[in-house]
Amino acid sequence: MKKSSYEGLQENVRKLKTPEIEVWQNQYPDKIYTINLDIPEFTCICPKTGLPDFAVICVEYSPAKFCVELKSFKMYTIFYRNVGIFHEHLINKMLEDFVSVVKPRWAKIEGVFNPRGGITTTVSREYQVK
């Protein structure tokens, strides 16, 4: 098998140190409702070329005890502007970080990345309490 030129570019992505996502106490934990967050101007860096990647990130979740604090989440997303990360890794990392702090009933994060080489990439991942 031919060795990929991408090999080793993302070995430590799961250990990436990101800004803290803060939460606040949900006063309606007995109600089931949905919160949608849209980030229409998200940017990160292609780990291969170093060029910027642009995307629309959509977060949808049903809070339990906590809701995400928006300023801290904005700072969290801005952090990625200077990070070389594959689209697939970004969405997985974001969902893991989000769920670990917010602890929602369920959540979904979707990234629609602008075309690169004529191909639009959409990556989504869902989480649900088991």
Return the active site residues: 46, 53
Concatenate the DSSP letters of all residues of the chain into one string: -PPPTTTTTTTTGGG---PPPPEEE-S-TTS---EEEEEEEEEEE-TTT--EEEEEEEEEEE-SSEEE-HHHHHHHHHHGGG-B--HHHHHHHHHHHHHHHH--SEEEEEEEEEEETTEEEEEEEEEE--
